[in-house]
């Protein structure tokens, strides 16, 4: 992987299964919160699939678009962009009625010190959006943070694990789910709640952070010694295909890779590639945040990009000093403060 252009191509490369599902999907698609970390590649994935399948389907993206270059890039790829603050009800109500809605809007980092904005985005806005799109089907981006810590040998929390969110961010994510759930019951809106952790891109993510710590000789904290990851392109494909699986009441779906990953072993893999000895501190705690995505894999198959491939691509990206987004994941946070 030598450039951002190559990376974007891989992230947005549609599968035959995605194209088949889009053929079965009635109506256009709107992505709310399209300008975040995952939204642009998700939009490009849909646009490429629609074109490859020769479909007459509009794809619309909504965001404040504080970065004008993101909007221009998405428009160049054929996305119909609408600049709007979703918390402004007049702007929200002015959006077109679209059959298929992917809700990606939310706030995580900066919650500490600005909790009221996090709750407005994550728990108030969902009610307004659900009212606006009560005649649509919806995929709701949520987070695996709504689960309690589980033993690293447990296989991870499943969709049947009762929520036990730690900290205000995770609590507000559960609030988002519950508000959408209420409106699903009230209006019969088919929804799928998409509980993700963690999607990676070579420009950000927990593999990038671990790899850079090895490369630069920084100590890696093993307190949270295990994790899950999934390639962002695979995660985006699941999100789009999930529109066909929305139900009332909402279907719950954990989305991540199949492995419970040892951070120490990942660091050692990077060390072999870089010919460096990783430095560690602290001992792994037995209870960590882990998701079991067996239901997802049964529905959509295993992710197309393996852990080893992700590690090798990330290592190459680090060695060539590839572009990064400078957005730490805080995946080792154990007190729920973001």
- Tell me the pLDDT band of 187, cut-offs 50, 70 and 90: very high
The closest of 87, 171, 83 to 127, measured between CA atoms, is 87
The closest of 146, 134, 126, 128 to 248, measured between CA atoms, is 134
Q: What is the pLDDT of residue 113?
A: 76
Measured in whole angstroms, the distance separating CA 136 from the mean position of its chain's CA atoms is: 21
Q: What is the mean pLDDT of residues 65-73?
A: 93
Residue 112 has pLDDT above 80, yes or no: no
The closest of 325, 232, 229 to 269, measured between CA atoms, is 229
**Other C-beta atoms within 10 Å of 68: how many?**
9
Q: What is the mean pLDDT of residues 161-189?
A: 96
Cβ proximity of 134 and 183 under 8 Å: yes
Q: What is the mean pLDDT of residues 154-164?
A: 97
Question: What Å distances lie between residue 187 and 140, 176, 182, CA to CA?
Answer: 16, 17, 9
Cβ proximity of 258 and 292 under 8 Å: no
pTM: 0.95
- Tell me the pLDDT band of 328, cut-offs 50, 70 and 90: confident
The closest of 61, 47, 36 to 14, measured between CA atoms, is 47
**pLDDT (tens digit per residue) in 265-280:** 999 999 999 999 999 9
Residue 326 has pLDDT above 90, yes or no: no
Residue 108 has pLDDT above 80, yes or no: no
CA–CA dist 331, 229 (Å, integer): 11
Question: What Å distances lie between residue 169 and 35, 91, 186, CA to CA?
Answer: 20, 26, 26
**pLDDT (tens digit per residue) in 225-263:** 999 999 999 999 999 999 999 999 999 999 999 999 999
What ranges in the chain are assigned the alpha helix state H? 4-11, 16-24, 39-52, 68-76, 89-93, 115-119, 125-132, 168-187, 206-216, 232-241, 263-274, 294-300, 307-319
Q: What is the mean pLDDT of residues 146-163?
A: 97
Q: What is the mean pLDDT of residues 5-21?
A: 96
DSSP conformation class of 104: -
Q: What is the pLDDT of residue 1?
A: 79
Would you tell me which CATH number, out of the four given (3.40.50.1010, 3.40.50.720, 3.60.20.40, 3.40.50.300), belongs to the domain 4-201+230-258+289-301?
3.40.50.720
CA–CA dist 283, 239 (Å, integer): 35
Q: What is the mean pLDDT of residues 183-202?
A: 97
Copy the structure tokens of residue 252.
């719950």
- Tell me the pLDDT band of 109, cut-offs 50, 70 and 90: low
């Amino acid at each position: 992987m030598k450039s951002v252009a190559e990376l974007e191509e891989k992230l947005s490369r549609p599968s035959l299964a995605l194209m088949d599902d889009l053929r079965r999907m009635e109506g256009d698609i709107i992505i709310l919160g399209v300008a975040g970390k995952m939204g642009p590649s998700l939009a490009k994935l849909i646009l490429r699939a629609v074109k490859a399948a020769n479909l007459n389907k509009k794809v619309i993206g909504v965001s404040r678009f504080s970065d004008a270059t993101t909007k221009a890039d998405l428009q160049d790829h054929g996305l119909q962009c609408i600049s709007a603050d979703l918390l402004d009800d007049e702007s929200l109500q002015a959006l077109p009625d679209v059959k298929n809605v992917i809700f990606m809007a939310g706030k995580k980092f900066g919650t500490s010190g600005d909790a009221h904005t996090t709750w407005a985005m994550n728990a108030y806005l969902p009610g307004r959006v659900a009212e606006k799109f009560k005649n649509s089907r919806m995929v709701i981006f949520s987070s695996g943070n709504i689960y309690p810590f589980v033993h690293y040998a447990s296989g991870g929390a499943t969709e049947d694990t009762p929520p036990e969110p730690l900290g205000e961010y995770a609590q507000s994510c559960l609030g988002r789910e519950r508000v959408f759930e209420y409106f699903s019951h009230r209006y019969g809106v088919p929804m799928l709640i998409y509980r993700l952790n963690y999607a990676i891109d070579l420009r950000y993510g927990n593999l990038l952070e671990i790899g850079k710590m090895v490369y630069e000789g920084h100590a890696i904290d093993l307190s949270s010694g295990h994790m899950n990851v999934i390639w962002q392109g695979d995660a985006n494909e699941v999100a789009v295909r999930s529109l066909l699986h929305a139900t009332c009441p909402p279907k719950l779906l954990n989305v991540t890779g199949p492995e419970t990953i040892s951070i120490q072993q990942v660091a050692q893999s990077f060390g072999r590639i870089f010919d460096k000895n990783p430095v560690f501190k602290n001992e792994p705690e037995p209870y960590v945040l882990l998701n079991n995505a067996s239901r997802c894999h049964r529905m959509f198959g295993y992710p197309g990009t393996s852990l080893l491939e992700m590690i090798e691509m990330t290592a190459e990206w680090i060695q060539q000093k590839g572009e990064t987004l400078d957005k730490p994941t805080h995946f080792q946070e154990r007190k729920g403060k973001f």
